[in-house]
C-alpha cells in the first residue's frame, strides 16, 4: 500500500512538504498582518528569516508564496543568490516577469516602455552597467522605478506583490548588497497618491511584500554594511527548532483518520501510524524540520502495510543515521573556532553547571568576559543556545549529538 508516489514526507531544502508542522506564527503574520495591511495601503516592513541549515527557512516562505498565489497575488519564484553572482541581474530578471504579469509590457505609455528597456539592460549587464552615468540612471533606481510601477498595477488589481530572495548571505559585495537593499527598501516604503471613490485622493503604501531568507551570517557579517535604515525597513527573525506539540499535531492526522493513498485496486486507501510511532519520530528529529521529514520518509519506506509501526520508524532511522549525523556536523563545522569551542565545552558540563564562567574555563578562555561575544552570537545570531542561569541549548539536535548517544535511537544522556 505504501509506495514512493504516496510518500507525504519530503526531506530537502526549498520544498513545501505535504506534512507541515509548526511555524504558525509566521504563517499567521502573512495571513493576518502583512497581507491585509498591504492590501489596505498601510506600510509594513519586509521580513528577513534567518537560521541554521535544516530549519525550513525557504520552505516556510515558499509555503507563504503558495498561499499568496492561491489568493491571486503576483509572486516571484525563489530567487536564489549564488555565491559570486550579480543579485541585481537576478532581481531585474524576475522584476521583468512580474511586469509581464502586471500587463506593463503591453502598456502604451512611452515612459513605461523606456523603463522596461532600461531594466532589460540591467537584467543583461547587471550592476556593472557602464552607460548608467551618461544616461543619468543607476541600475538600482531603474529597478526601484519598475517595482513601483508593478506595485501601482497591483493597487488597481487589488492584490499583493511578493518577492523572495534566498541565500542572501551570498551577497558579499558591499555595493551589490547596498543596491539590492535600497531598491527593495525604497519600493516598499514608497508612498503614492491614488483616487478613492467618494473620498478623493489619498496617500498609501504600495502592496509589495519582500522576504529575505538565508543563513545567520547575513545578520552577523553585514550588519554594519546594511546601514541604519535596514532595521526600519526589514524585520529580522531567527528560526528555532519546532516545538514537540506542533510536531505531534502535524502527525495526529495519521493516527485519527490516516493519510490517503491509492490502493492496489485503483481506489483510495489510508495509511495510519501507531501513536508510539509518532512519538518515536518526534523524539528522533529533535525539532529539526529536515530531520522530521527524513525520519518520516524512511519510516514510510520501512514497510508496506497500512499501519506505520514504531519498529518501522526505528528501522528506517537506522538507514538515515549517517545523514542525520552529517546534518548536525555541518552545523558545528560552520561555527568559528571560538564559538565551536564554547559549544563543545558547554556540552561537556552537566546542565546545572552551565554558567558563563564555567563554560569559559572549560573552553580555555582566560576569563569569562572573553567568552561573551561568542555566547552572544550563539544566542542572538545563531539561535543555538540560550544565555541564562544556567545556559541551555535551543538547538536540540546539536545538544543531543554532543551530550547523548543520539542518533543511535535510545536518546540516553551521556554520563557527565
Query: Which pLDDT tens digit goes with each residue over 154-197?
Result: 999 999 999 999 999 999 888 889 889 999 999 999 999 888 77
pLDDT, position 107:
64
Please give the average per-residue pLDDT across 53-59, as a whole number. Answer: 93
Q: Would you place residue 226 in the very low, low, confident or very high pLDDT band (cuts 50, 70, 90)?
A: low
Q: Would you place residue 123 in the very low, low, confident or very high pLDDT band (cuts 50, 70, 90)?
A: confident
- The arrangement of secondary structure in 335-403, i.e. its CATH architecture, is Orthogonal Bundle (1.10)
Contacts of 78 (CB under 8 A, 6+ apart): 14, 58, 61, 62, 65, 164, 166
Please give the average per-residue pLDDT across 47-69, as a whole number. Answer: 95
Contacts of 404 (CB under 8 A, 6+ apart): 411, 412, 413, 414
Task: In the chain, list all ranges with CATH 1.10.10.
Answer: 335-403
The number of angstroms, rounded, from the C-alpha of 190 to the middle of its chain's C-alpha atoms is 26
pLDDT over 90 at 63, yes or no: yes
- Structural contact between residues 37 and 200, judged by C-beta atoms closer than 8 angstroms: no
Task: In the chain, list all ranges with CATH 3.40.50.300.
Answer: 24-238
Q: Would you place residue 222 in the very low, low, confident or very high pLDDT band (cuts 50, 70, 90)?
A: low
Pairing of strands 200-205, 191-196: antiparallel
pLDDT, position 136:
57
- Structural contact between residues 190 and 151, judged by C-beta atoms closer than 8 angstroms: yes
Domain topology for 24-238: Rossmann fold (3.40.50)
pLDDT over 50 at 415, yes or no: no
Burial of 351 (0-12, 13-18, 19+ CB in 10 A): middle
Q: What is the pTM (predicted TM-score) of this model? A: 0.90
Helix (H, G, I), strand (E, B) or coil at 246: helix
Please give the average per-residue pLDDT across 281-295, as a whole number. Answer: 96
Instruction: Give the DSSP H/E element, type plus range, for residue 219.
Output: helix 217-221
pLDDT, position 267:
79
Q: Give the residue, 230 or 95, on which the prediction is more confident.
A: 95
Phi-psi region of 107 (alpha: psi -120 to 50; beta: other; left: phi over 0): beta
List the single range of 291-295, 298-302, 311-315, 363-367 with lowest mean pLDDT: 363-367
Amino acid at each position: 500500500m505504501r509506495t514512493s508516489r504516496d510518500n507525504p514526507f519530503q526531506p530537502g531544502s526549498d520544498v513545501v512538504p505535504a506534512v507541515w508542522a509548526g511555524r504558525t506564527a509566521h504563517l499567521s503574520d502573512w495571513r493576518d498582518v502583512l497581507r491585509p495591511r498591504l492590501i489596505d495601503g498601510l506600510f509594513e516592513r519586509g521580513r528577513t528569516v534567518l537560521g541554521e541549515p535544516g530549519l525550513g527557512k525557504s520552505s516556510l516562505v515558499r509555503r507563504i508564496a503558495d498561499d499568496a498565489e492561491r489568493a491571486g497575488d503576483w509572486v516571484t519564484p525563489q530567487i536564489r543568490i549564488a555565491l559570486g553572482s550579480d543579485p541585481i541581474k537576478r532581481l531585474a530578471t524576475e522584476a521583468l516577469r512580474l511586469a509581464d504579469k502586471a500587463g506593463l509590457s503591453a502598456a502604451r505609455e512611452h515612459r513605461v516602455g523606456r523603463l522596461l528597456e532600461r531594466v532589460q539592460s540591467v537584467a543583461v549587464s547587471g550592476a556593472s552597467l557602464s552607460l548608467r552615468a551618461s544616461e543619468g540612471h543607476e541600475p538600482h533606481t531603474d529597478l526601484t522605478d519598475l517595482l513601483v510601477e508593478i506595485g501601482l498595477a497591483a493597487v488597481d488589481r487589488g492584490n499583493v506583490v511578493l518577492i523572495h530572495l534566498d541565500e542572501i548571505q551570498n551577497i558579499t559585495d558591499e555595493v551589490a548588497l547596498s543596491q539590492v537593499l535600497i531598491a527593495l527598501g525604497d519600493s516598499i516604503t514608497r508612498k503614492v497618491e491614488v483616487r478613492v471613490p467618494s473620498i478623493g485622493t489619498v496617500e498609501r503604501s504600495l502592496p509589495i511584500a519582500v522576504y529575505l531568507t538565508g543563513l545567520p551570517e547575513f545578520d552577523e557579517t553585514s550588519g554594519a554594511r546594511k546601514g541604519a535604515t535596514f532595521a526600519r525597513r526589514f524585520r529580522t527573525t531567527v528560526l528555532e527548532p519546532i516545538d514537540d506539540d506542533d510536531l505531534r499535531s502535524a502527525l495526529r492526522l495519521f493516527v485519527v483518520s490516516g493519510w490517503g493513498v491509492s490502493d492496489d485496486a485503483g481506489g483510495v486507501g489510508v495509511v495510519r501510524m501507531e501513536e508510539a510511532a509518532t512519538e518515536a519520530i518526534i523524539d528522533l528529529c529533535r525539532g529539526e524540520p529536515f530531520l522530521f521529514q527524513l525520519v518520516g520518509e524512511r519510516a514510510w519506506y520501512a514497510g508496506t502495510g497500512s499501519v506505520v509501526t514504531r519498529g518501522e520508524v526505528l528501522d528506517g532511522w537506522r538507514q538515515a543515521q549517517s545523514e542525520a549525523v552529517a546534518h548536525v556536523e555541518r552545523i558545528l563545522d560552520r561555527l568559528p573556532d571560538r564559538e565551536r569551542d564554547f559549544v563543545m565545552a558547554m556540552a561537556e558540563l552537566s546542565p546545572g553547571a552551565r554558567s558563563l564562567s564555567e563554560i569559559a574555563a572549560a573552553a580555555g578562555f582566560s576569563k569569562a568576559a572573553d567568552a561573551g561575544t561568542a555566547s552572544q552570537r550563539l544566542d542572538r545570531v545563531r539561535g543555538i543556545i540560550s544565555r541564562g542561569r544556567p545556559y541551555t541549548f535551543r538547538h536540540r539536535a546539536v545538544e543531543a549529538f554532543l551530550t547523548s548517544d543520539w542518533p543511535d535511537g535510545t536518546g540516553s544522556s551521556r554520563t557527565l
